Structure 1
């Protein structure tokens, strides 16, 4: 296995750093899956068992000026590495002013990603700083757990309000309850509600719009066209999970959407021209 890549463009480096920082807010550990065309950050918790799962896909050509990899074999041309995204995020944050940043899969005392950056200096002598991020190589027999999650057969799909506004609402609600009910319908309405023995608080968003998942969405994994547009689908979720996702405002998505499987799961999606992030939060009773 071999992997090396280089970023020269500062805007690409900063964008990549923001993506990794967002991932680090969502999970303490994930798998970095490398293919010839894409990078994936994967957290494969079993939603059916109450776990959260995540799938983030980046087109490597939009981030890296050079990108070379050789997988475990010609037939299985991939590399899967388990890592702590906070370690990678911390390294990238300290190197944001780099003129050139190089990433390489190496083996020292253990497998690791070495991140070397050439930093600007006042003298003619360049300054190179290197960070080491430990990784575990995922064996081929476990790769079946790292597949892209299928689109759930949701009841309602809706565009999210501005993430910063939504985050401010959720941050305030978190002080009152550990759980939040997300409701939405096909008329572009969304409600966020908490209810305890002492207090009931609800925030209403209108005119958000509903994504067009095909002309006959009921055959494309989308909501049935026969559903009453005013009927609310809802799911009660751990408010901390939703709060973590809303940190995603750092990557300035062009679209942010929410699919709800009634009383089962909230499926959140951030889209950018060069990346996509999916986050699944299971409902709790």
Structure 2
């Protein structure tokens, strides 16, 4: 498989740029969570939360503007590893310590800018360069351990089947969020939720899906947050269950069909 040539064109539309803003939420107006949603407030505010991941031991990890942080059930947050890089597009194989991220080097880093794709096999304790250093900053990224799918704000998706070593072009669509589960690849686009069973080469609209701004997958589960801050879950993208209103959040991750997590820079919400 040949490495993907970086001859990509930035999307010109204002709508696309709005979708790709890394540090803003999908909702226009802030909403507050339902009081029934279990939540912990952080002891110290995180800096620009970019992504969440559930590790092998159940710890929720947060990718931020200044590194990776572990979130304790008490609300305390602690830095993982020594990196202070800006981790955009944090993703990983659910319920494992295998992570992938993109972004920009932090103040103490001598890495290329942008970082390209990096990987960790110890839950963010250490990182290694995989590919595309100095070329790509993935704001949307997802993996299930078999494929990686990323969107860097240009003219379509990139797909890797060898843990991010090489890449080929995927479908030409704008993805505000990506998820992979047992049923395929899912993308939140300006046209709504779309689904692929061809490893992100082609997509089809998902009829009657909620108007989602975030999405996450694990196993047979698919979780999403809609424009009004409500959580939804589904197994096949057909029968959607509306859950509690979590409000305006910055990131979402799924552990399984029974549990997902959403967060702002100040609090973590457990969805079930």
TM-score by length of 1: 0.23
Structure having the larger proportion of residues in helix: 1
TM-score by length of 2: 0.23
Pair member with larger Rg: 1
